[in-house]
Structure 1
């Protein structure tokens, strides 16, 4: 009986050591990602670009390549979204979009945006990101290809949703309710 108890104690001791080692390894592994790295970098560089300026630059670049677009502003939860849509001949739509994006980079200072794949074009400038997908598929004779360009703004001061916050009001305690004093009743 004594041998069985000692074996159990040894197993418990070994299991405890293994658990302690795992806990130490976990704490050590998690400590590195949780260290303080200082303040976050700004969400964009440069001053905020007004929506009208960003849209006019992109529509000018597109118009120079023969793509006429219409502006469709939208606004969602503090982020400014603009959408440009238009049509172009299906045979040259890819070339025209690529040339318009190149023109926006060279003439207006837009920078290449994040890589979203080979069929998506992206540009960034200050607080704006522009994205357009290259149309794919077979071109239908006589029907122009639809082009949709999405423009997203972050932290813009002139967004339509920039509604001034209401003034801060302080709460004052309500006066205490007083109940009419009743005379104590005596029991007979």
Structure 2
């Protein structure tokens, strides 16, 4: 016959092993349930919604047309700007710079942005805050900061409009600068 304390140790060991396996199985079931619930909950956001829409609609707008349009909008508000040649080869960027009387520069820039939206179909771009105004049209984004109405005495306020092409195929068609800036 077997030694009674040895049998008790074996039975005790078997009981401990069975309990550990039972707890492990229970933990495995709990983890499996959590993973199943997570997969079910996250399944909807991961579904395929098809291809992304284009970044802009319609044909790409040429740089000359965009620059001409914004130059005329700014001129209608008394801000004469000059087109600076694009220095980045292969990139669609343009820059319009000019000067305006400091007392009315804020109102003139805001009116020009409003005119571009109402008369030429530009849309409000993302809100960047801090007095920055953005417009989008086709494959172009125009960005300008509302200048401070109080520059140093006797100096006109600078007006800068930066234009960036989202996906243009060809960079600027012409980089000939317009006549120099004049004040109004």
Say yes or no: TM over 0.5.
Answer: yes
SS in 2 for 1:150: strand
Matched residues in 2 for 1:30 and 1:48: separation? 38
Aligned pair partner of 1:131 in 104, 120, 143: 143
TM-score w.r.t. length of structure 1: 0.74
Higher mean alpha-carbon deviation, 47-56 vs 133-142, is at 133-142
In structure 1, the residue matched to 2:25 is: 13
Paired residue total: 161
SS in 2 for 1:132: strand
In structure 2, the residue matched to 1:152 is: 164
TM-score w.r.t. length of structure 2: 0.76
Name structure 2 gaps, 5 residues minimum. Answer: 1-12, 174-184
In structure 1, the residue matched to 2:107 is: 95
Higher mean alpha-carbon deviation, 49-58 vs 137-146, is at 137-146
Name structure 1 gaps, 5 residues minimum. Answer: 162-188
SS in 1 for 2:86: strand
User: Which residues of 2 match residues 1-188 of structure 1 at below 5 A?
Assistant: 1-74=13-86, 79-117=91-129, 119-136=131-148, 138-160=150-172
Higher mean alpha-carbon deviation, 66-75 vs 87-96, is at 66-75
Matched residues in 1 for 2:119 and 2:30: separation? 64
* Maintained 8 Å contact 1:51/1:158: no
Higher helix share: 2
Matched residues in 2 for 1:137 and 1:99: separation? 15
Show CA shifts across 1:54-105 (max 9, x none).
Answer: 0011011111212121222436585411111222222211101001111222
In structure 1, the residue matched to 2:182 is: none
Higher mean alpha-carbon deviation, 113-122 vs 146-155, is at 113-122
Q: Residues 22 and 79 of structure 1: is their aligned pair in 2 closer, same or farther, counting only changes over 3 Å?
A: farther
